[in-house]
């Protein structure tokens, strides 16, 4: 039953990531209608908790090397994503004059920085992509392994 729940949660997560990725504005002027992917960002919290719960019951005895590998993956994914956001900002700054030439370079950089922070819909492709999807799943498995590890340590300390 928990494997089916795990599969359902993974499918919901995948659909949410794909849909949220598709909501990004492609060309300036960027929409200021708001970002409906915020609802999915909020839904990611219970999805994370549900996935951790399922992984705890599905992964009964994960190998010892898995936790360090997942930690390395999550750290590298975050680093890669930060680099990708910086490159994306530079790309937007360099391409923005094609759409609007009345602004100075500093104004364009301020505008691009403003729309590429927080939860603007311009950032959906940066937040919801294959890298972040894999990091999210790796994070849930890592947290599940850590919870199992600390539960086992607690049980062992209660025995002695």
- In sequence order, the 6+-apart residues with CB closer than 8 A to the CB of 133 are 13, 14, 17
Q: Which residues contact 33 (CB under 8 A, 6 or more apart)?
A: 121
Q: What is the pTM of this model?
A: 0.83
Taking only the tens place, the pLDDT of each residue in 32-56 is 566 788 899 999 999 999 999 999 9
pLDDT at 31: 55
Which regions of the chain are under pLDDT 50? none
**Per-residue pLDDT at 89:** 85
Note the pLDDT of residue 49: 97
DSSP string, 33-58: S--THHHHHHHHHHHHHHHHHHHHHH
Contacts 24+ apart (CB under 8 A), 145-150: 145/55, 145/59, 145/62, 145/66, 145/67, 145/70, 146/67, 147/52, 147/56, 148/56, 148/59, 148/62, 149/67
The 10 Å Cβ neighbour count of residue 83 is 10
């Amino acid at each position: 039953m928990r494997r089916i729940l795990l599969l359902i949660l993974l499918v919901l997560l995948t659909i949410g990531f794909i849909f949220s990725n598709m909501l990004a504005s492609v060309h300036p002027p960027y929409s200021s209608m708001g970002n409906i992917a915020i609802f999915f960002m909020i839904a990611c919290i219970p999805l994370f908790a549900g996935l951790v719960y399922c992984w705890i019951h599905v992964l009964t005895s994960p190998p010892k090397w898995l936790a360090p590998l997942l930690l390395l993956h999550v750290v590298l994914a975050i680093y890669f994503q930060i680099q990708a956001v910086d490159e994306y900002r530079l790309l937007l700054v360099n391409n923005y004059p094609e759409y609007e030439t009345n602004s100075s370079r500093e104004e364009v950089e301020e505008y691009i920085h403003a729309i590429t922070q927080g939860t603007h819909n311009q950032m959906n492709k940066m937040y919801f992509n294959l890298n972040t999807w894999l990091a999210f799943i790796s994070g849930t498995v890592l947290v599940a392994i850590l919870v199992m590890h600390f539960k086992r340590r607690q049980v062992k300390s209660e025995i002695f």
